[in-house]
Structure 1
Amino acid sequence: MAPGDGSWILSVAGRWFYGNLSISRPLWPRPSFDFQNRTIRLTCLQKPTVFEYKDGGRGGLDESVGYANDLMLIARRHLNFTDVLVPSDGFGNKDRNGKWDGMIGVLQRKEADISPLDFTPSYDRSEVVEFGYPIGEDIILILSKAPVKITRPFLLLQIFSLQVWACIIGSALVLGVTLEILVKIESTVNHKSSLKTLFMKQVENSLKIFVYQGSDYWPTGVAGRLASVCGFLVALVVCSLYTGSITAFFAIPFRSKPIDSVDDLLRSSVRLAIRSKTNTYSTMVLDENGILYKGRDRVSLFSGTEISTWEFFRIIADGTFALVDVYSSAVGSANSFEKRNEKCKFYIGKEAVRTDADVFAFMKNSPVFYQFDNIMQWLRYFGIIEHTKKRYYSAACEVKDSSDVIKPMSVIQVQGSFYILGIGLLVGFFIFLVEIMWSKVL
């Protein structure tokens, strides 16, 4: 049996009798969830929003902050243990001799029982430590300069594309020339054609609602009026589209194009900032099949210490570099330089570069592995972990507006208006020719 103080006591669970085993209780007792104030050593490092200790870790969990620290406080309340922090300077890397440094090395040397940080499991690490149940997912994202609003002095001209404006101006010229020709011809032809039946008269009266008839230079024949009405209808549709687009253009602010994906990053002139001792660099930059391999010439390597300073994030804020890193490191560090109720300095790409699992690391054959892992499973099952994360990853600066930009309307979007005008002109010319021929017959 396991009384909870780290020791094990032999107890009678069954006996052999004439070659048969008689079981009186379970052979494998349930692990104790009461450590009876046993000391649990936690190896950790300074990582914003995840785990930040004070006074060299002497204050323990009570004087530390971060969502992983909050999870450890919940576990301590249920397991009843005393915590001792063992600070380290990194997650852990293996040298040429096969020795590990950082928190992995601390666990390998059995100087700590657990490391409550957001580890990414790998085969090399699993050979020397044990990984628990995933506590969540940590995406690799692109952190870049926050897009800025663009001042467009010629906004009213940018609602339509240049092709649409060319079509509008060309259609106006064609309509003007057509009406002028109709007016000139009508002045030399007998307008009292028998085609002007009662039906045609009603059509003309109806068209007067749309077209002003008082001008001496306006066509008076059916064909001219039909062409005029089609031109007026096109103008009405175009003006409606233009007015509606003005509302949309002012409703959604214009911004410089943000970096939302790897394709956006590779097309831009921004350099890539990546931590040297991460899987991101080894698997996505150095590997020929890596998603960032094409941009390897623009990669600059930084250490974990540098990316926590304003000197580093200043070159992100001015658009010189874009940071490719896990969400917890990138956003957690960047939020410390954002100010509440002020404009954001940094922008988080909408598309994740990759998604990794977050796990806690344990000493090999740790006697407390099952208890901590069981609690983390329940915390994730009930959504406590995600709820705890939201408290630390909420944006401190002003919430960014939508970065979607309305594009100018193309010819395809307004082509229906020009079809109407073209059909009206063709029908007008046909009717006008019929009128002329009919008048000659009479």
Structure 2
Amino acid sequence: MVQTLQEALEDSEIFRGLQHHPRTFRFTEEVRVVLTVVDRPPHLYVKEQDDGSLSVSGPMANVLHVMASSLNFTYHLIRPVDKIYGSELDNGTWSGMTGHIVRKEADIALSPYSRSVEKNKFLEYTHSIYYDFLQFVAGKGQPEIDPWGFLFPLDSVVWAALLASLVITWLAMVVIGSNNNEKGVGCFTWITDLFLEHLRVALRQDFCLEQRHGSERMLVLGWMVVTMMVTWSYSGNLVSLLAVRYIPKPLQTLRDLLDSSVTLIMTRNDIFRNFLLTVKSGDLKGLGNLYKVGRVKYQLSKTFPDVMENLVTKGHHVLFSPGLGLDRLAANYFANTGRCDFYKMRMALFPITHCIIGLKGNLLVRAMSYRVRAILESGLYDHWLMSSIPFSTVCRHAPSIITVREPLAINNLWGMLVLLGAGLLLALVTFCLELYVDKRCSDGAL
């Protein structure tokens, strides 16, 4: 007859083996362990069979099979009536899986638990098998055209180098050509004309070399080669960049979120809420203030797929949940629609552990902890987890820049037109000033 765990621990040899050699311990005879479970996608899925018995699947089920094989035990699965992890009731008892453990109706809770100071007093935790964070997911904006994209074919360093080359070539020409300055031409006027001549070369305008001799001509030819190469590269890249569309991701930090008008959606968590309301300063205090101004909505986790599709995609709501759960929601959305309409903000808060638990002092939990660490360090759990979420990485690094093939329109070119108009207006003002100054000088001469 198979012994229960409590019966097996009454054997002093088994007790000492678990206590002193938990890393290598193995039951000599099969032991029956009772496990309490609830659904925790994507870590664990619980299914009730036709005969009323339970079966489990998912990454945590794989962990259970490794534990059963390594420690040589069989198991029986039970599930709390309320199908929850459990919380303390007004009469001091606990509901859910925690109640099963406290009342010793189960030896182990398989669904992964997060550590807490309150529960740490009476629960035994294994090493964390997975670490997660609370994260924010927001909807991407519609592809936008950058009207100043004509500046992007050249890097800022190239623009600076081109300007520096223009100045250096101009100054070299001033030094070399100082002895050839025509009589009757003012020094300032001559230097200015030299600069404008080199600028015309850069702008691919007409330029005459007949007045240049020797080293001056070679210097100008060198400058022409440089500007031609840069101009050809610029024009080729510009055509490509005009086809680029930028997908805005405006919310990246907690400060961005607080400064916006979006509403935060999350599951009801009074402990988390009470903590934020006690923070006295910083962005976390601002996050707590969202509760006071009505910018927080509570939703059940089972409604999150509809929330993602109908609210988050519109850009007015942000979903706040453990990061892996958000990855799963985005992966399912991609599987249904073929689109990646969401992005994670860079900000992550409050690390979350995922542990197997038992009652305080449970020696089996301590023995399982060593095996959990081995599974974690081997990368098996991450492999099982990612394999259980189809398309889990497709949208993780989705590009924020896309290219399209469509005719050029004012939306693409208005930045260049603004620059052209500003240049023509400046030229008109300069021309009017020249006419005015020339007229004043002519009147004075008379």
TM-score by length of 2: 0.62
Aligned to 2:287: 295
Which structure dedicates a bigger proportion of its chain to helix? 2
Change in CA separation of 1:280 and 1:216 when aligned onto 2, cut-off 3 Å: closer
The equivalent residue for 2:380 is 384
> What's 2:430 paired with?
none
Partner of 2:352: 356
- Residues 335 and 391 of structure 2 are in contact (CA less than 8 Å); yes or no, is this contact kept in structure 1? no
Q: How does 1:233-272 map to 2 (within 5 A)?
A: 235-236=227-228, 239=231, 242-243=234-235, 246=238, 249=241, 254-272=246-264
Residue from 104, 112, 120 that aligns with 2:106: 112
Partner residue of 2:326?
330
Partner of 1:71: 63
Mapped to 1, the partners of 2:28 and 2:238 lie a distance apart of 67
- CA, structure 1 residues 245+273, in 2 after alignment: closer, same or farther (shift >3 Å)? farther
Conservation of the 8 A alpha-carbon contact between 1:260 and 1:350: yes
Kindly tell me: are residues 217 and 248 of structure 1, through their superposed partners in 2, closer, same or farther at Cα, counting changes over 3 Å? closer
Q: What secondary structure does 1:54 align onto?
A: strand
Q: Which amino acid aligns with 1:328?
A: L
**Partner residue, 1:134:** 128
Cα–Cα, structure 1 residues 145 and 382, in superposed 2: closer, same or farther, change >3 Å? same
One of 394, 399, 402 as aligned partner of 1:402? 399
Return the alpha-carbon distance in structure 2 between the equivalents of residues 43 and 253 of structure 1: 48
What is aligned with 2:211?
220
Aligned length: 357
TM-aligned CA distance change 1:245 to 1:278, over 3 Å: farther
Q: Contact conserved, 1:4 with 1:33, CA < 8 A, in 2?
A: no
Deviations 1:181-214 (A, max 9, x none): x9xx999869xxxxxxxxxxxxxxxx9xx89xxx
Q: Which runs of 5 or more residues in structure 1 are unaligned?
A: 14-24, 176-181, 191-206, 406-442
Instruction: Tell me, yes or no, if structure 1 residue 86 matches structure 2 residue 82.
Output: no
Distance 1:380 1:236, change over 3 A: same
Q: Distance in 1 between matches of 2:330 and 2:29?
A: 38
Equivalent residue in structure 2 for 1:339, among 328, 331, 335: 335
User: Among 35, 49, 61, which residue is 1:41 paired with?
Assistant: 35
Question: Distance in 1 between the 2:207 and 2:280 partners?
Answer: 76
RMSD: 4.8
Higher mean Cα deviation, 228-237 or 29-38? 228-237
Match of 2:139 among 145, 153, 160: 145
- The amino acid of 1:403's aligned partner reads S
Specify the structure having the higher radius of gyration (Cα): 1
Identical positions, percent: 16
What does residue 431 of structure 1 align with? none
For the Cα contact (< 8 Å) 2:279–2:288, is it kept in 1?
A: no
Residue pair 1:116, 1:360 contacting (<8 A) in 2 also: yes
Q: Distance in 1 between matches of 2:337 and 2:394?
A: 5
Residue 220 to residue 297, structure 1, CA distance change in 2 (3 Å): same
Instruction: Check the 8 A contact 2:47/2:54 in 1, yes or no.
Output: no
In structure 2, C-alpha distance between the alignment counterparts of 1:258 and 1:56, rounded to whole Å = 47
1:169-318 alignment runs, 5 A limit:
220=211, 232=224, 235-236=227-228, 239=231, 242-243=234-235, 246=238, 249=241, 254-277=246-269, 280-284=272-276, 286-289=278-281, 291-298=283-290, 299-305=295-301, 307-311=303-307, 313-318=309-314
Partner of 1:28: 16
* 2:384 counterpart SS class: helix
- Give the equivalent residue in structure 1 for 2:96: 102
Q: Residues of 1 paired with 2:57 and 2:103: CA distance?
A: 26
CA distance change for structure 1 residues 5 and 267 in 2, over 3 Å: closer, same or farther? closer
Match of 1:374 among 370, 375, 380: 370
Is the contact between residue 138 and residue 326 of structure 1 (CA under 8 Å) also seen in structure 2?
yes
Deviation at 1:336, TM superposition (A): 3.3
Does the 8 Å CA contact 1:140/1:327 hold for their aligned counterparts? yes
Once residues 49 and 308 of structure 2 are traced to their aligned partners in structure 1, the CA distance between those partners, rounded to angstroms, is 24
Name the structure 1 match of 2:435.
none
SS of 1:339's equivalent in the other structure is: helix
Deviation per CA, 1:354-398: give whole Å up to 9, x if none.
323221221344463234333323222322222222213453585
Q: How far does the alpha carbon of each residue in 1:67-99 deviate from its partner, in whole angstroms, 9 at most, with x for none?
A: 223322332344331321314443333355544
SS of residue in 2 equivalent to 1:220: coil
Deviations 1:152-180, CA, capped at 9 Å, x for gaps: 57743676899x8xx99xx9xxx9xxxxx
Query: Aligned residue for 2:423?
Result: none
Pair 1:238–1:50, CA change in 2 (3 A): same
Contact (CA 8 Å) 1:340, 1:396: kept in 2 or not?
no
Measure, in 2, the Cα distance between the counterparts of 1:27 and 1:112. 19
How far did 1:6 drift? 3.7
Deviation, 1:234, is 7.8
| Aligned residue number for residue 198 of structure 1 | none
With structure 1 as the length reference, what TM-score do the two structures score? 0.63
Distance 1:26 1:93 in 2: 33
Contact 1:143 1:347 in 2 (8 A): yes
The one-letter code sitting in structure 2 at the alignment partner of 1:318 is: K
